[in-house]
Structure 1
């Protein structure tokens, strides 16, 4: 078992080596605790509440420096079941909005997908939430872009190189 001085040295060494601001804060809180500061004093120094400081100290006591390492937050649970997610993927990839009762004929939009999910499974999503869900399901959303089918390449190059730069200067 390490002495308190050895523990303090280990924590301070870790604090000096980290480039992560949040890890530095955790190491600092534990370092101050090992030096005899109270939770109330530590909260004023590191700018966290006593509950948070206590969690840092408990995590350190239980698992050492490894206990202070930040873990990925699991986030909120999905609103749709795995089966519903599979059906959503199948619908968006293999069907058009008109095929499932929408007036839009050609393209799925985030708003249409949100409406589809709400009608089909009574689950509400924001546009940003739906974008994140689609991303987690391996789908990507992109806005439709339009190109001229019969564009004159020479005229387009002249516009890009001569006309447009002249317009930007004004």
Structure 2
């Protein structure tokens, strides 16, 4: 591809991306194509020369696709797929009491860590358990209670008249 066409392609990619890191990558390659040195491009985008060199190598090998950020594979999860599914089901549909914990109505990170340890003999930190539960689509919410014998007319009156007046004060 001719340099001007490559530069134009990079400018279009820069205009379309909302990812700051991808914008930097496109900009670095564009600067090199416009005649800047790797050192100059690195100074402009705030990265080191080695990083800019990797961007150039990726672009030369695969074009714009070579600049796309890859995620690191990371280590294998401690729990297998079936165990993760079971953990999600337990926390979403059972209470800690159902699982043999002392009288508790709500799950906490500490209880989730204990459950994982007891059930699958794996240890997690509170932060690790938080990340794990978040990756399963679970989030902490306080339970809301509704009164069975509440008068809907009085509730509506409170919601429409009394509460707005209280908020103004």
CA 1:161–1:96: 2 relative to 1, 3 Å: closer
1:133 aligned residue = 135
CA–CA separation in structure 2 for the residues paired with 1:150 and 1:44: 68
CA–CA separation in structure 2 for the residues paired with 1:168 and 1:94: 36
> Any runs of at least 4 consecutive aligned residues in structure 1 with deviations exceeding 6 A, and if so which?
none
CA–CA separation in structure 2 for the residues paired with 1:90 and 1:39: 52
CA 1:94–1:4: 2 relative to 1, 3 Å: closer
1:42-121 superposed matches below 5 A: 42-71=41-70, 77-92=76-91, 95-120=94-119, 121=121
1:157 aligned residue = 156
Aligned length: 165
Which range moves more in the overlay, 72-81 or 24-33?
72-81
Please give the TM-score of this superposition, normalised by the length of structure 1.
Answer: 0.76
CA 1:43–1:162: 2 relative to 1, 3 Å: same
In the alignment, structure 2 segments of 5+ residues that lack a partner are none
8 Å CA contact retained: 2:3, 2:33: yes
What are the superposed Cα offsets for residues 3-60 of structure 1, whole Å, 9 maximum, x if unpaired?
Answer: 4454344434544x42434333212101111233222211111112223212211110
CA 1:109–1:66: 2 relative to 1, 3 Å: same
In the alignment, structure 1 segments of 5+ residues that lack a partner are none
CA–CA separation in structure 2 for the residues paired with 1:108 and 1:79: 21
Matched residue SS, 1:63: helix
2:122 aligned residue = 122
CA–CA separation in structure 1 for the residues paired with 2:97 and 2:135: 22
Q: Return the offset for 1:164.
A: 1.4
RMSD across aligned C-alpha pairs, in angstroms? 2.9
Which range moves more in the overlay, 104-113 or 39-48?
104-113
